[in-house]
Amino acid sequence: MKPNIILITTDQQRKDSMSGYGFSNAQTPHLDRLAKEGVVFERSYCTSPVCTPSRASLYSGKYVSKHGAWNVGTALPEDEKLLSHRLTEAGYRTHHIGKAHFQPYLSPLEQSRESILTGWEQNFESFDGPYYGFQTVELAMGHSLYGGCGHYGMWLKQRSGRTTFEASSDCREKFGGEAYDWQIKESDHSSWWTAERAAVFLKEQKERAEQPFFLSIGFQDPHHPHAVPVERTGKINKSAMQPPQYMEGELQDKPPHFEAVHAGDWSPDHPMHGMFPMAGQSSNRFDYRLVHEEDAIKGKAYYYAMVEMIDEAVGRILQALNQNELDQNTIIIFTTDHGELLGDHGIWMKGPFHYEQLVNIPFIIHGPSYFPAGRADAIISLVDVVPTILELCEISIPSGLDGVSFKQLLLGQSASIRAAALIEHVDDPGGLRLKTVVTERYKCTIYYGEYGKQAGELYDLFEDPAEMINLWGNAQYNGIKFSMMHLLLQELEKLERREGRDVYA
């Protein structure tokens, strides 16, 4: 019998938020169990440090330049064939719970923020799929303070009679990562709802055990705003937090937009204007130099508390899987769309900065019945998930995918599957465009257009894992730089192929 598949994603989660990776910022015993019994990847990379493009790559097996959903505010084309389509065609029962974010919030189903606050959930009363290949869906959109919408919003209103709740923050500035004490019950939180709905689905699957299932789960957290129910804010240990890692002057050898964002002085005609096309031009221009250290520490502490709530929800899902006797025949993948800077390098949230905190993401695959536990140092990319799942499910891998199956890594039959990972950001002629290639030791980023004539990045991740020293202008590294640029060209050449055929043929 083919294995069941559970794909769990979070939103904007760093590797150092999981104790299974050796960090103590958050206590994640249930994720630690997955790590102990599964395979933990140390060098897993997203394809873009922004939600929609990265998620589209995860589900399509294609890089951003191929699937076309290049930033937040764009839509993944509805004719793009996703993992959900392929597993449905193979006879799987397919269902998605939580955040998908394949479309912008202004699409017919995912309305504007203003609509969220005035009853967005009404649009979902008669809708449960199909949706992007999933037979059925239960959707949640937005994040924390403005996330009470979709099917989750309907559930929330039925329980509490409302979809929004007051929140307060004593942080002196609103910098995106500030902490909020949120007047919502833990049992009304989206993470709780996500676990509850997953448990219901798993119970239903026990009655139809002859049919394999694909359950896709998308948690809204720990994306900003960093809001935690007041029931647990008193349990947060701020004293254990370290200040963000930033050294005065470290951005001077970086491309100009790093310092511009740090100081909040980029203007509407700056290339950064394409960073978040759905947001107002002023909403993302905050001077991060104004963030007080104690506020930064509190913002970080609340972020990790959000991860701990996700871990508890994952524990409930694992319990339901076991209670319904589905655990032995189920493969679980846990990952995220991208990371979060949390003030490191003087910048918060995300954007066109391919630091490891943003692009090197947590990735655990759990399937003791199918492959042994272990840790892997091999480079993988989110585009590799589709071919890997298809091969594990004994489904033929179609041509035209950018990903490579890492089943051989899981079985210990290979030490690596790719020499490098490709990361892209804002593939739009009118905005800031950059592409990065990262190998075992080096990382190289090139920029396009006039901006590219003055900007570039090169890092030695062995000697400088914190990426403090940009070697782009160091003549001693010209050989390595040219070698990395050549490698990047080779990766980009692969993007000129569609469904196995050269576009020039």
To the question of pTM greater than 0.85 for the whole model, the response is: yes
- Mean pLDDT, residues 11-16: 96
Q: How much is the pLDDT for 442?
A: 98
- Mean pLDDT, residues 200-223: 94
- Mean pLDDT, residues 113-141: 72
- Mean pLDDT, residues 15-29: 94
What secondary structure does DSSP assign to 287-316, as a single string? Answer: -GGG--HHHHHHHHHHHHHHHHHHHHHHHH
**Model pLDDT for residues 368-391, shown as the tens digit of each residue:** 999 999 999 999 999 999 999 999
**Cβ–Cβ < 8 Å for 72, 349:** no
Query: Which residues, listed in sequence order, are joined to residue 99 by a DSSP beta bridge?
Result: none
- Mean pLDDT, residues 400-418: 95
Two structure tokens written together for 444: 């190289």
Least confident of 19-28, 103-112, 154-163: 103-112
> Is 84's pLDDT higher than 90?
yes
- Mean pLDDT, residues 113-133: 63
- Mean pLDDT, residues 469-495: 94
Q: How much is the pLDDT for 118?
A: 37
Pick the CATH number of 4-502 from 2.60.40.2580, 1.10.260.40, 3.40.720.10, 3.40.470.10: 3.40.720.10
Is the torsion defined by CA of 425, 107, 146, 310 positive or negative? negative
Longest CA–CA separation in the chain, Å: 66
Write down the mean pLDDT value for the chain.
Answer: 89
| CA 353/CA 481 separation, integer angstroms | 19
**Model pLDDT for residues 162-178, shown as the tens digit of each residue:** 888 999 999 999 999 99
Least confident of 101-110, 121-130, 354-363: 101-110
User: Percent of the chain having pLDDT more than 70?
Assistant: 90
What secondary structure does DSSP assign to 428-453, as a single string? Answer: -TTS--EEEEE-SSEEEEEE-HHHHT
Two structure tokens written together for 385: 């998930």
| CA 72/CA 92 separation, integer angstroms | 30
- Mean pLDDT, residues 336-359: 96
Name the pLDDT band for 395 (thresholds 50, 70, 90): very high
Q: How much is the pLDDT for 71?
A: 81
**Model pLDDT for residues 258-294, shown as the tens digit of each residue:** 998 999 876 555 555 545 433 333 455 689 999 999 9
- Mean pLDDT, residues 327-336: 97
**Model pLDDT for residues 33-78, shown as the tens digit of each residue:** 999 999 999 999 999 999 999 999 999 999 998 888 888 777 788 8
Q: How much is the pLDDT for 502?
A: 45
More confident residue, 499 or 17: 17
Name the pLDDT band for 432 (thresholds 50, 70, 90): confident
3-state SS assignment for residue 8: strand
More confident residue, 75 or 465: 465
What secondary structure does DSSP assign to 88-109, as a single string? Answer: HHTT-EEEEEE----S-TTSSS
Least confident of 181-185, 209-213, 277-281, 428-432: 277-281
Q: How much is the pLDDT for 428?
A: 64
Instruction: Say if residue 359 is exposed, middle or buried (CB neighbours under 10 Å; 0-12, 13-18, 19+).
Output: buried
Contacts of 195 (CB under 8 A, 6+ apart): 312, 313, 314, 316, 317
Own/partner long-range contacts of 285-289 (Cβ < 8 Å, ≥24 apart): 286/173, 286/174, 286/175, 286/176, 287/263, 288/175, 288/261, 288/262, 288/263, 288/264, 288/343, 288/346, 288/347, 288/348, 289/262, 289/263, 289/264, 289/346
